[in-house]
Copies of this chain bind each other. A is one copy, B any other.
Amino acid sequence: MLLQIDLQSEVPIYTQLVHNIIEGIARKELLPGEALPSVRSMAADLGINLHTVNKAYNILKQDGFVQVNRKQGAVIHPASFPLADEQYQLRLQEQMRPLIAEAICRGMSSEQFKVISEQIYSQFSIGEEKEDG
Give chain A's interface residues, CB within 8 Å of chain B. Answer: 7-8, 12-13, 19, 22-23, 25-27, 65, 67-71, 81-84, 88-89, 92-93, 95-108, 110, 112-114, 116-121, 123-125
**Could you tell me if B120 and A107 are in contact, using CB atoms closer than 8 angstroms?**
no
Q: B19, A101: Cβ atoms under 8 Å? A: yes
Across the interface, A106 reaches (CB within 8 A) one of B88, B95, B123, namely B88
Known A-B contacts A81-B105, A103-B92, A105-B81; A23 and B114 likewise in contact (beta carbons under 8 Å): no
9 residue pairs, one from A and one from B, having the closest CB atoms? A26-B104, A26-B101, A19-B98, A84-B106, A23-B101, A110-B121, A84-B108, A100-B120, A22-B101
Judging by beta carbons under 8 Å apart, are A7 and B69 in contact? Answer: yes
- From B68, B119, B121, give the contact of A113 (CB < 8 A): B121
In contact, B98 and A96 (Cβ under 8 angstroms): no
